[in-house]
Amino acid sequence: MSSPLAPEEFARRADVSRETLVRFEAYAALLKRWQARINLVSAASLADLWRRHFLDSAQVAPHLPDGPVLDVGTGAGFPGLVLAILSPREVHLVESDQRKCAFLQEAIRVTGARNIILHDARVETLAPLGAASIVARAAAPLAELLDLVERQLAPRTVCLFLKGKGFEEELTRAEKHWNMRVERIASETDAHARILRLSEVRRGRSG
């Protein structure tokens, strides 16, 4: 098993400045304090926070199109808050758990991320937000996730979903009800995982 990723190594791999790293360090400290009260991330992953959550989220950034980002079921802010710290683009965080929303409000404050709009709601209840991209990590199986974000999909919307080793099975099930162009991007944090970059997503049986 590899040793936990150090903050300095995260900064190198994510190509962030010392000033930005300080913002991430404030985020990490806050998450660890709140984790003792509410379950924000799995206890096992907390020991390797910089790899399992920060780098895992940051790797999405180079694949985003220009324009606003919608993060579905953001939880503790992954990947949406990380992406907001990394760039000035507008980021919508959607989270229906009020305790996690309270954490997110404080995390937004301590990181100084002013380009965020927090929605205390379920994504399927929101009017279309006009996002250029939709991101999600551990929110739901792919077919269910696409159902949830259907109202947010426009012809040019790009979806970037972080998926584990069962990604091919999820794709097979989703393609029974959805047409889409699929790009499988290797994960920087897990050899068995992929970022699924979906474009031209529309409902309809493939083939």
Say if CB 52 and CB 45 are below 8 A apart.
Answer: yes
**Which has more pLDDT, 140 or 117?**
117
* Mean pLDDT to the nearest integer, 86-108: 96
Instruction: Write the DSSP assignment of 123-181 as a string of letters.
Output: GGGSPP---SEEEEESSS-HHHHHHHHGGG--TT-EEEEEE-TTHHHHHHHHTTTEEEE
Return the pLDDT at 198: 98
**Euclidean distance between CA atoms 147 and 134, whole angstroms:** 13
Q: Is 193 within a domain? A: yes
Q: Is 2 within a domain? A: no
Q: Is 173 within a domain? A: yes
Q: Which residues of 188-205 are buried (b: 16+ CB within 10 A; e: fewer)?
A: ebeeebbbbbbbebeeee
pLDDT at residue 145 tops 80 = yes
**139 — pLDDT class (breaks 50, 70, 90):** confident
Task: Specify the CATH number for the domain of residue 169.
Answer: 3.40.50.150
Give how many domains the chain has, as a whole number.
Answer: 1
pTM summary value: 0.94
* Mean pLDDT to the nearest integer, 164-188: 96
Return the pLDDT at 90: 97
Residues 6+ apart with CB under 8 A from 179: 200, 201, 202, 203, 204, 205, 206
| Percent of the chain predicted with pLDDT > 70 | 98
Q: What order of strands is seen across the sheet that includes strand 91-94?
A: 116-119, 91-94, 69-72, 133-137, 158-163, 194-203, 178-186
161: nearest Cα among 175, 178, 143: 143
Return the pLDDT at 44: 85
Domain housing 93: 7-203
Q: Is 1 within a domain? A: no
**Euclidean distance between CA atoms 118 and 51, whole angstroms:** 25
Structure tokens that stand for 156 in this block: 């040019």
Say if CB 33 and CB 110 are below 8 A apart.
Answer: no
**Euclidean distance between CA atoms 60 and 79, whole angstroms:** 8
pLDDT at residue 207 tops 50 = no
Structure tokens that stand for 143 in this block: 């077919």
Q: Is 172 within a domain? A: yes
Q: Give whole-number Cα distances, 40 to 3, 45, 65, 131, 178, in Å.
A: 22, 11, 28, 25, 31
Return the pLDDT at 1: 54
